[in-house]
Amino acid sequence: MTRTPSRADRAWPPSWLLVARTELRRRLRNRSAIVTAFVGPVALAAVFGVLLSGTSSIDVTIAVADDDASALTSDFTGSLVDADTGGDPDDHRDDPVTFVAIDAADAVQAVDDGEVDAAIVIPAGFGASITSGGGGELSVIRDPAGRISGAIAEAVAREFTIALSSRRLAAATAVSLGTAVDPASLDTFVDSTTTAIVEEEPGGGTIDAAGFYGVGMSIMFLFFTVSFAARSIVAERHNGVVPRMLASSAAPWEVATGKVVAVSALGLAGFTTVWGVTSLLFGSSWGSPVAVVALMVCTVLAVAGVATFVCGLARTEPQADGYTSMVAFALALLGGNFVGPGQAPAALRRVASFTPNGQAIDAFSRVAVDGAGIVDVLPQMAALLAFAVLLGSMGLARVTRVMTS
């Protein structure tokens, strides 16, 4: 009557996949999967979409230092600064980007001190050089941690150079045709082009608040979703199911891995739902789909690593709940989930780079704002995978010890 299956019999699926499959089946059966992967994320996306759609949470101050003070550059600086100070002040209260005039000598210090987020410096002689047909060079001073403000300043400077090139091209064309050039018409052309710079989206992407907070809150939501693994393991240790799995051929790490894989799949589904809802219903652009999917997977793995680590610390369900909440909120605060784009103080930006969610938010922002592709965010993806491997392996080792002790 006895038959002992050989190893070959159980090669596929492995125990961890059997555990994961059963965990998903149970969560679909009791509908918690529906809530976790769809209802919750849809509600999350809807709240941020309805409340924040069409608004921008960018609040960036860029200084413009015109050392040249030529007619050419005055047109440019004047159009930027006057646009922010002229007319009814109420019209500018919600402007996401503010331009202020500054002396070139003070520009670096102002950025260092955080008085402004970035500065554009037009050197003396710039206008003369351009007018004489030579080249010119603008300087953009940016805080390395203030990526969004730097991107905006660079975009503005770039558009100014494009406008100058257009003017030079128009003038050269008119001269070559033997036509008298009316300077006023060129000014109008330049003004209209320059004005258009401010209204264009910086970097070619969109950083609307719904999308930004959608990412941040999705990661937060992910922490709680993935923490279900910890609670599940603790509960099933006490009701005898985990010991029974261990008494069969499943190893402790396989049980833990199966649980984490199952809830990570749900977390990924939830993340994707937020992406879909904010994109399709509220017009957010998260950037390159390939990069977004890759980042989502890396983020889920990193959060799963954190959750596995937390799981290893908990011996009771209340402990699992408490530890998860504590870690999720602490990381959310430190990682910048609650701070709008470009608004985090420099110290917080530095701290955020040491958190998985900080790395994830930075990478998602790059993809959305800078139009970065998957190659551009490889460092962030590597950091996220490092979090996943380091914390996940420590967590699994701890879980294994707890399960057999």
Partner 1 sequence: MSGTDQREHSGAPVPGTAPSLPLLRCDGLVRRFGERTAVDGVSFHISAGETYGLLGPNGAGKTTTISMIAGILRPDGGRVELDGRRVDAHDPEAKRSLGLVPQEIALFDDLSAEENLRFFGSLQGLRGADLRARVAATLELVGLSDRAKDRISEFSGGMQRRANIAVGLLHRPRLLVLDEPTAGVDPQSRNQILESIEQLRAEGMAVLYTTHYMEEAERLCDRVGIIDRGRIVAEGTRRELVAQIGEHDRLVVRADGPLDAFAATVGTLAGVREVHVGTGSIDVVVDDAASTLAAVVDAATSDHVVVTGIEVREPNLEAVFLHLTGTALRDRGD
Q: Which residues bind partner 1 (CB under 8 A)?
A: 1-7, 9-10, 13, 15, 18, 22, 25-26, 29-30, 239-241, 243-251, 404-405
Across 111-141, b (16+ Cβ under 10 Å) vs e yields beeeebbbbbbbbeebbebbbeeeebebbbb
Cβ-based nearer residue to partner 1, 180 or 247: 247
Min separation Cβ 369 and partner 1, Å: 44
Distance CA 355, CA 224 (A): 16
Min separation Cβ 328 and partner 1, Å: 26
Cβ-based nearer residue to partner 1, 7 or 93: 7
Distance CA 360, CA 223 (A): 13
Cβ-based nearer residue to partner 1, 8 or 177: 8
The DSSP-derived string for 19-86 is HHHHHHHHHHHTSHHHIIIIIHHHHHHHHHHHHHTT-----EEEEEEESS--HHHHHHHHHHHHHHHS
In three-state secondary structure terms, 310 is helix
Cβ-based nearer residue to partner 1, 2 or 132: 2
Cβ-based nearer residue to partner 1, 32 or 193: 32
Min separation Cβ 242 and partner 1, Å: 8
- For tokens 């050419």, name the residue: 72
Min separation Cβ 38 and partner 1, Å: 19
Report the number of secondary-structure helices (H) and strands (E) in the chain.
17, 4
Min separation Cβ 308 and partner 1, Å: 20
Token duo for residue 351:
């701290």
Picking from 187, 171, 79, 72, the residue whose alpha carbon sits closest to that of residue 124 is 72
Min separation Cβ 399 and partner 1, Å: 14
Cβ-based nearer residue to partner 1, 243 or 289: 243
